Structure 1
Amino acid sequence: MKILHTADWHIGKRLHKTDLSQDFDLFVNWLCNYLRENPVDVLLISGDVFDFSNPSSESRSQYYKTLIKLKNFNLKIIITGGNHDSPSVLEAPKEILNQLDIHVIGQMPDQFEDCLIPVSSENEIELIIAAIPYLRSRNLQRQFDAESYENKQEAVKESIAFHFQETAKLAKENYPNLPLIAMGHLFATGASLSESERDIQIGNLAGLEATHFGNDYNYIALGHIHKPQRLQAETPIFYSGSPIPLSFSERKNDKRILVLDTEASFEPESISIPKFRDLILIKGTLDEIKVKLENIENKYPLKTLIEIELYEAEFSATKTYELEQVIEAFDKQNCDIVKHKVTFKNMTEVERGVSTVESQVSDFTPKEVFQKKLEGIDETENTKLELMSAFEEILDELNRPEE
């Protein structure tokens, strides 16, 4: 049986006001071509289908059109919710999608057995998928009676571990001797992050160790971290990563899907996704930036996006003005400068105050804004951590407006 693992589609994502819907469509077209030549039995999507909990009508339409395209390949699709997803949005069409052999688990069911999805071939069950979505604070609430933050962290870890281990236990009781694959959406210790993994909320603060998953899973298909990677563990535990770059920090990542052939091994084959758009970060002095901009060429289907970081030793308002003029005059075909930043190494406090380059609030996530606020208050580190924990619980609540 062949299983394809992907995650973190983030439909509706914008990168510096650039809509990435075309990027995602090109990925889906490539994926369909791959499936045409390389049939699979099951497609796993491990969370963060959407970028926003209340996706636009355009994003929902893109999602449903994608499912229709993929269903042409006669495969079972299993989707779990991520921290960006609204459980009710994902599960609203659940009954209809079930009829199409598309299974959606947007939030953790009351009964762990409801996470278990048998996968059959020729009317015989061959393996079990434990489809565990992102675990929100209400799923872990029973563990939140620890007095200190450190104890709460441990309580969160143990609660998440309990969900995976209890689900595995039930799978082994109900389906003995069958292979078991888990889906999860969380942060595991040792995973390499990029700047686009924003709002890592309370259920993921703990940083799970590989041992927390237990020893009953044959493969663990994770989402949440956008860089494809394997965790150091005896069990194959993989992040598939996002299929398209979602931030400039991902510009050098080799985007991938993972494909398992369970008859051969539970170690997946890593399939590289073509690049559809170039993200270029240019750093240097004004003269260096001018040369680098002149040498840029677009070799990809979609518009190249460029970030500029000017570094000069001495403060100069003239240099800042000249950079603005260079950006305004830039007219390379199919290329856009989407952000620029100026840093002077040697600046007095007065010069720093009159510098024309300031960070915009729109450049920060809510969590980052709150972190900056915390930096300016006179409290202990433990108190600040407690405040951040409370803030993330509020973010979690705001992501569920339907309730």
Structure 2
Amino acid sequence: MKILHTSDWHVGKVLKGQSRTEEHTQVLAQVIDIARDERPDLVIVAGDLYDTAAPTPEATRLVTRALTALRRTGADVVVIGGNHDNGAALDALRPWADAAGITLRGSVRENPAEHVVDGVTRDGERWQVAALPFLSQRYAVRAVEMYSLTPAEANQTYADHLGRVLGKLAEGFTEPDRVHLVTAHLTVVGASTGGGERDAHTVLGYAVPATVFPGNAHYVALGHLHRSQRVVGPCPIRYSGSPLAVDFGEQENVGSVTIVEVTATTAARIREVPVPGAVPLRTVRGTLAQLAEIEPPEGWLRVYVREQPRAGLREEVQELLPRALEIRIDPELVPTPGSGTRTAQRAGRSPRDLFADYLGSRGHADEDVRELFDELLEEVDH
């Protein structure tokens, strides 16, 4: 059978005030074109369809149309919720999804059978997917309890809970003539972040070892990390990555989807298909004079200005580089907090004096900025 694995669409993303709806429309159109060309038996969307738990009607319309178009290619479609998605809101779309022939699982349900999806390809090959949406720490404990497994101990970790839940979902991975698949939205120890993920859900207690996945799985389709990559483990494990760079930290990532060809008796063959539809993200550095001389690269820009901070500097940069979305003073020019400065005493001092101390600690002596602060303070006071 052939599988198209994609994830982390983040539809509705606004990058420093810039809507990316047009880019998402182009990127998802290319994903659909790839599905038409490749004719997969199964499309897996491994979470983070949206960038926010409260997507706009426009974002919802774009996602539902994309999923419908993927289904119309003839492929079965299995979708799970990610940490950016509102699992309950996705589950509210299940009547629509069921009518469209799409399997949608936004959050973990009490019945584990809800998360085990069976299917048959056009050629009669049987497959089964254990589909696990994103689980927070709290709901991981609840899921373990719901499934009547060993009671959670106080010293058990998030990884323990995830391992138990996945083990329960994969109990049926025993038939030798069926392709066994897992899809989940989580962080695996040792994998590389893409640069734009939500930190709280990628580090510390949220990282799990690859050993939580069953060794008899033919392929594990992961979402959450935005860089396409293979993960070493007891079975073939892979992040498809986001089909477009979500933030400037991901500017080196190459958007793609993953194509997997596998049978019940042969190892998975995996390849990436690029998705070049998004506007590139670029970073430039220099003084104002240097920025005035460069040929601006194509795409949205992050600019590190090698000038001392002053009022109006941002506007001067934007006049030179209209596609600059993020403008910062070059970190090399910003003093490290605490380096050669003492923390100012706050008691009994005016806001203006405290702000002046702050500016001094940051190497910022522009009197115009102090005057702007005075105007703002006076406006707030009155």
State TM-score, norm by structure 1: 0.76
Partner of residue 326, structure 1: 316
Matches of 2:234 and 2:32 in 1, distance apart?
Answer: 32
Q: How many residues align?
A: 334
Which structure 1 residue ranges, 5 or more long, are not aligned? 299-303, 358-403
The one of 266, 269, 274 equivalent to 1:267 is 269
Give SS of 1:307's match: strand
The alpha carbon displacement at 1:326 in A equals: 3.3
2:342 is the alignment partner of 1:352: no
Alignment of 1:230-309 (within 5 A): 230-263=230-263, 265-291=267-293, 294-298=294-298, 304-309=299-304
Change over 3 Å in CA distance of 1:286–1:348 after alignment to 2: farther
**Are the aligned partners of 1:187 and 1:204 in contact in 2 as well (CA < 8 Å)?**
no
The alpha carbon displacement at 1:41 in A equals: 1.2
User: What whole-Å deviation, never above 9, does each CA across 1:22-79 have from its counterpart, x for those lacking one?
Assistant: 1111112212222232211111000111111121111111112212322321211100
Alignment of 1:175-194 (within 5 A): 175=175, 177-194=177-194
Give SS of 2:129's match: strand
Partner of residue 162, structure 1: 164
Give SS of 1:200's match: helix
**Are the aligned partners of 2:218 and 2:267 in contact in 1 as well (CA < 8 Å)?**
no
The alpha carbon displacement at 1:89 in A equals: 1.3
User: What whole-Å deviation, never above 9, does each CA across 1:291-328 have from its counterpart, x for those lacking one?
Assistant: 3xx31243xxxxx211111246xxx45xx458445314
The alpha carbon displacement at 1:13 in A equals: 0.9
Matches of 2:42 and 2:164 in 1, distance apart?
Answer: 26
The alpha carbon displacement at 1:202 in A equals: 9.1
Matches of 1:2 and 1:165 in 2, distance apart?
Answer: 25
Change over 3 Å in CA distance of 1:21–1:113 after alignment to 2: same
Matches of 2:362 and 2:26 in 1, distance apart?
Answer: 45
The alpha carbon displacement at 1:236 in A equals: 1.0
Runs (4+) of structure 1 exceeding 3 A deviation are 122-125, 141-145, 199-204, 284-291, 320-326, 345-350
One-letter amino acid matched to 2:305 = L
State TM-score, norm by structure 2: 0.80
Give SS of 1:157's match: helix
One-letter amino acid matched to 2:157 = A
2:70 is the alignment partner of 1:70: yes
Partner of residue 195, structure 1: 195
Change over 3 Å in CA distance of 1:125–1:325 after alignment to 2: closer
**Are the aligned partners of 2:127 and 2:179 in contact in 1 as well (CA < 8 Å)?**
yes
Matches of 1:107 and 1:7 in 2, distance apart?
Answer: 16
The alpha carbon displacement at 1:91 in A equals: 1.4
Larger radius of gyration: 2
Identity, in percent, stands at 22
Change over 3 Å in CA distance of 1:68–1:213 after alignment to 2: closer
Change over 3 Å in CA distance of 1:89–1:339 after alignment to 2: same
One-letter amino acid matched to 1:327 = V
The alpha carbon displacement at 1:201 in A equals: 3.7
One-letter amino acid matched to 1:6 = T
The alpha carbon displacement at 1:240 in A equals: 0.5
User: What whole-Å deviation, never above 9, does each CA across 1:121-168 have from its counterpart, x for those lacking one?
Assistant: 35945111111111232232457652xxxx3xx521111011111211
